[in-house]
Structure 1
Amino acid sequence: MSTLLGASRFLVILAVIGALLAATTLLVYGLTATVQLILSTIQTGEVTRKVAKALSLEFIEIIDLFLLGTVFYIVAIGLYELFISTNVKLPSWLSINNLDDLKNKLIAVVIVVLGVLFLGQVVSWDGERDLLGYGVAVALVIGALTYFLSQKSGGNSK
């Protein structure tokens, strides 16, 4: 039974493949959207503040795609490292030794994604919607996640 349970860890490869496919899809889609947006901008040739604001917002949304793709990539690498093999050549900052390392890396990226989402709302603000409530909610979530990270790192240093 222990051999079967030990070998069952390889089932996680399904999650690794799924996360890697999701990451690849988001990153390729983001690149495609970037190229299309650049070509469309060049074709129209219109240079106004309104176009600049719209262009900025579209690029912020594309960056959000790249960040989400990065989240899925980190999940794929982390699960692979934790369950399949530690022999993956990665930069030291991406090394994942336990589930807490993976959670911390994900939380850090989620904080950035939330910041980018809020920035997108600010850039597209029409002056009528209430951004204060949205901003406070985002700030509270970021604050809670940051507190969680600080508690984890404080607990690990003891």
Structure 2
Amino acid sequence: MLRRILASSRYIMLVPIIGTFVGFVALIFYEAMVLSVGVVDAARNGTLSAKSVKLFAVSIVEAVDVFLIAIAIYIISIGLYSLFVDDKLPLPKWLEVNNLEDLKGNLVSVVIAVLAVLFLREVVAWDGSGDIATLGIALAFVVAALTFFLMKNNARRQ
């Protein structure tokens, strides 16, 4: 009886799976609406100046950042589902998750991309004042540490 209870307890993972999936869908649609409003506002204003183009570019980069975060949430949702509920889920090779290490590796890869977009957003919005190099160096250290984690993780699997 305890064995059956423990085996069935994996379905409790449906709570975070559904929660992360709903969060992913909500974030995708919300950011799509924000981006649409930004495009409409840019077209309505009709101002074509270097500053307005730069602001529009920053808003697009910010949208990409939010979409990447949503993708990370989606990867977590799919990964948890394939780990705890259905390991036969047809997924592309890059999204296959066989253990928690695979899920962490996928997540870390997306986090690196999000950090790169974050820095790009700051560079595009930078007006020449302030110290952007400090942010770049800090992000470089974080990306280097995450890359080291990925390399160590991949070496352990081989």
Q: Tell me, yes or no, if structure 1 residue 50 matches structure 2 residue 48.
A: no
* 1:36-60 deviation digits (Å, cap 9, x = unpaired): 1111111111111000110010111
1:36 and 1:104 map into 2 onto residues whose CA distance is 35
Aligned length: 157
Q: Tell me, yes or no, if structure 1 residue 149 matches structure 2 residue 143.
A: no
* 1:13-41 deviation digits (Å, cap 9, x = unpaired): 00000100110111001111121111111
2:130 partner letter: R
Q: Give the unaligned 5+ runs of structure 2.
A: none
Following TM superposition, the consecutive aligned residue runs of length 4 or more in structure 1 with deviations greater than 2 angstroms are none
TM normalised by structure 1 equals: 0.97
2:152 and 2:104 map into 1 onto residues whose CA distance is 13
Root mean square deviation of aligned Cα: 0.8
Q: Which has the higher mean CA deviation after the structures are superposed, 104-113 or 148-157?
A: 148-157
1:69 partner letter: A
* 1:91-150 deviation digits (Å, cap 9, x = unpaired): 121111111110000000000000000111111112111111111110000000001100
Report the CA distance between 1:81 and its aligned residue. 0.2
TM normalised by structure 2 equals: 0.97
SS in 1 for 2:33: helix
SS in 1 for 2:129: coil
- 2:26 aligns with 25
Report the CA distance between 1:89 and its aligned residue. 2.1
2:14 partner letter: I
Identity among equivalent positions (%) equals 36
- 1:15 aligns with 16
1:78 and 1:53 map into 2 onto residues whose CA distance is 37
SS in 1 for 2:121: helix
2:103 partner letter: L
- 2:95 aligns with 94
2:59 and 2:24 map into 1 onto residues whose CA distance is 20
Q: Give the unaligned 5+ runs of structure 1.
A: none
Report the CA distance between 1:7 and its aligned residue. 0.7
- 1:66 aligns with 67
Q: Which has the higher mean CA deviation after the structures are superposed, 119-128 or 104-113?
A: 119-128
- 1:129 aligns with 130
2:157 and 2:18 map into 1 onto residues whose CA distance is 31
